[in-house]
Amino acid sequence: MKYSFQFYPYQRRFKQPLKTSHGSWEIRKGVILQLTDELGYVGLGEIAPLSWFGSESIKQVLNFCRQLPSEITDADIFAIPSDLPASQFGFESAWESVYLARFEDKNNQNKSHKRINFSALLPTGKAALNEWKILWDQGYRTFKWKIGVASIQEEIDIFYHLTQQLPLEANLRLDANAGLSLAQAEEWLWVCEHTKIEFFEQPLPITQFKQMLNLTQRYSTLLALDESVASFEHLQACYQQGWRGIFIIKPAIIGSPRLLRQFCQKYEIDAVFSSVFETSIGKKAGLRLASELSNNHRAIGFGLDNWFIKDDFSSELEHFL
Ligand code: MG
């Protein structure tokens, strides 16, 4: 099958810069892909790279899209190399969405979707203490709070306030974005021993996998890998080296949805799907995978709409979004 191919770069500005231990992020840049098959069915996909997390850069994405001809084939799509994982995801999900458009009437009527719960991202620091109530009123019951941004004493203090304020049925996740030292990680895990949290995400840098594996044996808090499993190769390697905690999967940057499906179905890992601030197009493709592959009991990290200025899309894209 041949497809005519078009692509549209976009930019979205965060309402407030997103602060993590990797630094401050102000504008999300990505590319929307459109494939049209020979029968006129249209599929959209999104490339939302996150180079500081290990994917290709936006520049590499644009270079790759620009060198493609205006007509591409199935073979072109499935031959995208694994060093362009966000592009693999974007093209394969656009391809899937053409396929779904073509068979929509037959398939959709019989398909029952699993119910999905979403996790909301709280702002860092003290602002979390006010923001959770707003998100709670919007229906969120799972919250993620990023740490490793201010001093550990200050953050543990806010954490105590937060856990006292949160209703019993709320779930709290902590995410250090690989920003702690071993001593700090142990201090946090000691604090968590006395306060129930759902899980603790990526305490240490990728290079300290063995130490993180060791922490899972010494503390009862569930640990999750995120930065360590940003690529499909690393996801496989961490599983082979014995990780049986949670795997945070960012479908938009992990690469081929086809290979991810095979892996998750084979090993039945405890997977939590998470967004990289993509638009509704990438989100739709990510949610499709999450509803097939994620652990039923866990909220997924796509509750991020509170982070963007709504009308900041470039106008030519508006009719897609
Ligand atoms: Mg994370």
For the domain that residue 95 is a member of, what is the CATH number?
Answer: 3.30.390.10
Residue 316 lies in a domain: no
Whether residues 125 and 91 share a domain: the answer is: no
Q: Which residues of 271-304 are buried (b: 16+ CB within 10 A; e: fewer)?
A: bbbbbbbbbebbbebbbbbbeebbbeebbbbbbb
pLDDT above 70: residue 107:
no
β-sheet bridge partners, residue 200: 174, 223
We report the CATH number of the domain holding residue 139 as 3.20.20.120
100 or 212, greater pLDDT: 212
Whether residues 166 and 203 share a domain: the answer is: yes
Whether residues 130 and 238 share a domain: the answer is: yes
CA 202 / ligand 1 centre spacing (Å): 7
Residues 62-101 have pLDDT tens digits of 999 999 999 999 999 999 999 999 999 999 999 999 999 8
CA 273 / ligand 1 centre spacing (Å): 11
Distance from C-alpha of 24 to C-alpha of 36, rounded to nearest angstrom: 37
Whether residues 29 and 64 share a domain: the answer is: yes
pLDDT of residue 176: 96
Q: How many residues does the chain have?
A: 321
255-260 average pLDDT score? 95
171-175 average pLDDT score? 96
- Helix, strand, coil percentages (3-state) for the chain, rounded to 5, are 45, 25, 30
Residue 232: Cβ within 10 Å count:
19
pLDDT above 60: residue 319:
no
Residue 129 lies in a domain: yes
Whether residues 130 and 97 share a domain: the answer is: no
Residue 34 lies in a domain: yes
In order, the DSSP letters of 239-290 are HHTT--SEEEE-HHHH--HHHHHHHHHHH--EEEEB--S--HHHHHHHHHHH
Distance from C-alpha of 230 to C-alpha of 247, rounded to nearest angstrom: 10
Dig out the tokens for 152 from the structure: 């550990």
- Give CA angle at 104 (99, 106), nearest 5°: 115
Whether residues 139 and 235 share a domain: the answer is: yes
CA 147 / ligand 1 centre spacing (Å): 10
End-of-domain residue from the set 73, 108, 143: 108
CA 201 / ligand 1 centre spacing (Å): 6
Whether residues 140 and 102 share a domain: the answer is: no
pLDDT of residue 48: 97
User: Within a 13 Å sphere around the CA of 99, how many CA atoms are in the beta-carbon half?
Assistant: 10
CA 136 / ligand 1 centre spacing (Å): 21
β-sheet bridge partners, residue 145: 174
Whether residues 135 and 102 share a domain: the answer is: no
pLDDT above 90: residue 272:
yes
Across 193-197, 216-220, 256-260, least confident range: 193-197
Residue 319 lies in a domain: no
Q: What are phi and psi of 247, to 5 degrees?
A: -115, 120
Spatial CA neighbour of 248 closest among 304, 286, 208: 286
Residue 296 lies in a domain: yes
Whether residues 99 and 145 share a domain: the answer is: no
Whether residues 157 and 290 share a domain: the answer is: yes
CA 77 / ligand 1 centre spacing (Å): 29
- In the predicted model, what is the mean pLDDT of the chain? 89
pLDDT of residue 19: 80
Confidence of residue 105 (pLDDT cuts 50, 70, 90): low
In order, the DSSP letters of 204-230 are S-GGGHHHHHHHHHH-SS-EEESGGGS
Distance from C-alpha of 243 to C-alpha of 210, rounded to nearest angstrom: 10
Domain that holds residue 168: 118-307
End-of-domain residue from the set 88, 108, 128: 108
Question: Taking the complete model, does pTM exceed 0.75, yes or no?
Answer: yes
Residue 165 lies in a domain: yes
Whether residues 57 and 173 share a domain: the answer is: no
Residue 295 lies in a domain: yes
Across 48-52, 114-118, 137-141, 315-319, least confident range: 315-319
CA 79 / ligand 1 centre spacing (Å): 29
What 3-state DSSP class applies to 118? Answer: strand
CA 276 / ligand 1 centre spacing (Å): 10
CA 144 / ligand 1 centre spacing (Å): 9
How many structural domains are present in the chain?
Answer: 2
Dig out the tokens for 206 from the structure: 């990728």
The catalytic site residues sit at 146, 250
Distance from C-alpha of 39 to C-alpha of 262, rounded to nearest angstrom: 30
End-of-domain residue from the set 48, 83, 108: 108
145 or 17, greater pLDDT: 145
β-sheet bridge partners, residue 25: 18
β-sheet bridge partners, residue 173: 144, 199
Residue listed under structure tokens 């290079």: 207
Residue 318 lies in a domain: no
Whether residues 31 and 127 share a domain: the answer is: no
Confidence of residue 247 (pLDDT cuts 50, 70, 90): very high
Residues 187-202 have pLDDT tens digits of 999 999 989 899 999 9
Confidence of residue 115 (pLDDT cuts 50, 70, 90): low
